[in-house]
A = this chain, B = another copy of it.
Amino acid sequence: MEVRTILVEPKSEENIGAVARVLKNFGFSELYLLRAPGIGKKALSVASHARDVLSGCIMVDSIEDALADSALVVGTTSKPGISARRHLRMPYFSPRELKEMVDGKRGILSLLFGREDIGLLNDELRHCDIVVCIPTNPDYPVMNLSHAVAVLLYELSEVHTAPEGPALAPIEDKERLLAHLRRFLDEIGYKEHKKEKSMLMLRRILGRAELTTGEVQTLRGILRKAEWKLETKNSFS
């Protein structure tokens, strides 16, 4: 897959430069910065021979812009979820499991890395299909930003892209499917207080399932069919 590294509100210029260097070390170049500070001399100095990656980075202001065209959105966290019933950070995967999961797939894999101090916000984690956690020491699990990027890209540098296999559905298709599912929950009178939790669960399940465009279409076809049936039924009741 094509790997896009997205830093969300990084504070330190040095970290941005160090991440650029790591990208180039592992043969990647697509760097997105979401609400980042300007790139100055410090970042350039730390990037060393990866100034081209730094100068080619894309500055965005919204997470939607950062994730545009993504086939798979992966959030990183140093705090994995504890309960399988809380879907925000669960289930979570190791970098190696992520590698095995995406090996041979096609499409843009967006890797989201959070702020140095507080990581990704819950609202940002909600955008993710998959949550990845580097196995670390519980006594000090929080890695430096650029080191976490290094470990993830080290694993992903071994990923092979299938030249022929089916492409994964882009984020826009999946978001339409999720919006469709949300409408459907309303249509069937699903309990309001359960809805958000169930929507997040559906997002995680569909994220893990790595849907192709054709599969998204089929699922939406099923939903439309069910809606049609409901309408027909309602009109007779």
Contact = CB atoms under 8 A, between A and B. Distances in A.
A184 interface: no
A26 interface: yes
A205 interface: no
A24 B139 contact: yes
Interface string A87-116: 000000001000000000000000000000
Contact of A144 (B21, B136, B158): B21
Nearest to A138: B27
Contact of A147 (B18, B134, B140, B142): B18
Contacts of A48: 144
A22 B143 contact: yes
Interface centre among A46, A134, A136 (most CB of B within 10 A): A136
Interface string A20-62: 0110111100000000000000000010111000000000000
A25 B147 contact: yes
Interface string A129-173: 000001111011111101100110010011000000000000000
A143 B24 CA distance: 9
Interface residues of A, number: 29
A136 B18 contact: no
Contacts of A25: 136-137, 140-143, 147
Contacts of A95: 154
Contacts of A140: 21, 24-25, 49-50
A118 to B, nearest CB: 15
A52 to B, nearest CB: 10
Nearest to A155: B154
A137 B18 contact: no
A134 B50 CA distance: 18
Nearest to A21: B144
Given A134-B154, A154-B154, 11 more contacts: A18-B144, A21-B143, A22-B144, A24-B139, A25-B142, A25-B143, A25-B147, A26-B136, A50-B140, A135-B158, A144-B146
12 contacts: A18-B144, A21-B140, A21-B147, A25-B141, A25-B142, A25-B147, A27-B136, A49-B142, A136-B157, A144-B146, A147-B150, A151-B151
